[in-house]
A = this chain, B = another copy of it.
Amino acid sequence: MRVKCIVSYDGSRFHGFQVQNRERTIQGEIQKAIKKINEVETVIHASGRTDAKVHAVHQVFHFDTEKTLPEMQWKRAINHFLPNDIYILDAQYVDENFHSRYSALKKEYRYLLSTKEYDPFQTNYIYQYGRSLDIDLMRDAAKIFIGEHNFASFCSYDQYGNTIRTLYTFDIEEEDGIITFRLIGNGFRRYMVRHLVGGIIQVGAHRIEKEKLLEMLESCGEKKCLFKAKPQGLYLQEVYYEED
């Protein structure tokens, strides 16, 4: 039987999602919890990784099991064995054709930034930028990225392969001094959201013009974006599948 889970986690005290030998990771903690129920080593498959300090509101993963628990018991059972910074919001049986990563159609990320005075309670959750940004300029520049593009200049240096992605939404809203960047795309490569937001922040701070970002985008990796927003403000908000 295949189980699909929706999970929320505070990434502050993790070395990212992917399991590592000695470090505390989200995948590692979840696999330890599920092993206690399944009684065998169980590998989980997520919609994608998140980096160290990055959070998730609704991350999705699946795993296969021989245990035939009633569907409604899975959520409580896994949560029972999880640490307090990871929480399963939903668990249900799905068709074996479902795959958290390959069945995903769209992903939504959010990035939070504060323009207000430093707040020690927000330091792991909202980037403490502490100055105002020009919202209209940023909104205008964000349009550059909408549509299908080769995002090579906005990806990690260490990644090869296909860097073509489609960005559907790049919204920017401000409320009470907190700016929320909302990106929806068919997929995001490593560091891509942080580079896109990082570049846009430079425009909002009047440090570069949007033409500079367009140049980077059109260079397809030749002119790399050197501005990468901190991981602390980043949230994997939603993963969209056909059935949703």
Which residues of B sit under 8 angstroms from A121, Cβ to Cβ?
8, 10, 55, 125
Which chain B positions have C-beta within 8 A of A125? 121
Selecting from A84-92, A97-105, A195-203, the interface stretch reads A84-92
* A contact patch SS: loop
Contact of A10 among B9, B85, B87, B120 (CB under 8 A): B120
User: How near does chain B come to A19, taking the closest CB pair, in angstroms?
Assistant: 19
Contacts of A118 in B (CB 8 A): 79, 87
On whether the beta carbons of A85 and B123 are closer than 8 Å, the reply is: yes
- Chain B residues with Cβ below 8 Å from A211 are none
- Chain B nearest Cβ from A111, distance in angstroms: 16
Q: A87–B8 contact, CB under 8 A?
A: no
Tell me how many residues of A have a C-beta within 8 Å of chain B: 17
Given the complex, which residues of B lie within 8 Å of A148, measured CB to CB? none
Cβ distance A125 to chain B, nearest Cβ, rounded Å: 7
Closest residue of B by beta carbon distance from A89: B117
Q: Which residues of B contact A171 (CB under 8 A)?
A: none
Can you list 9 A-B contacts (CB < 8 A)?
A8-B119, A8-B121, A10-B123, A55-B121, A84-B120, A84-B123, A85-B120, A85-B123, A87-B120
Beyond the given A10-B123, A89-B117, please list 8 additional residue pairs across the A-B interface where CB-CB is below 8 A: A8-B119, A9-B120, A55-B121, A79-B118, A84-B120, A84-B123, A85-B120, A85-B123
Report, nearest first, the 9 A-B pairs whose CB atoms are least far apart: A87-B120, A84-B123, A85-B120, A10-B120, A10-B121, A87-B118, A8-B120, A9-B120, A86-B120
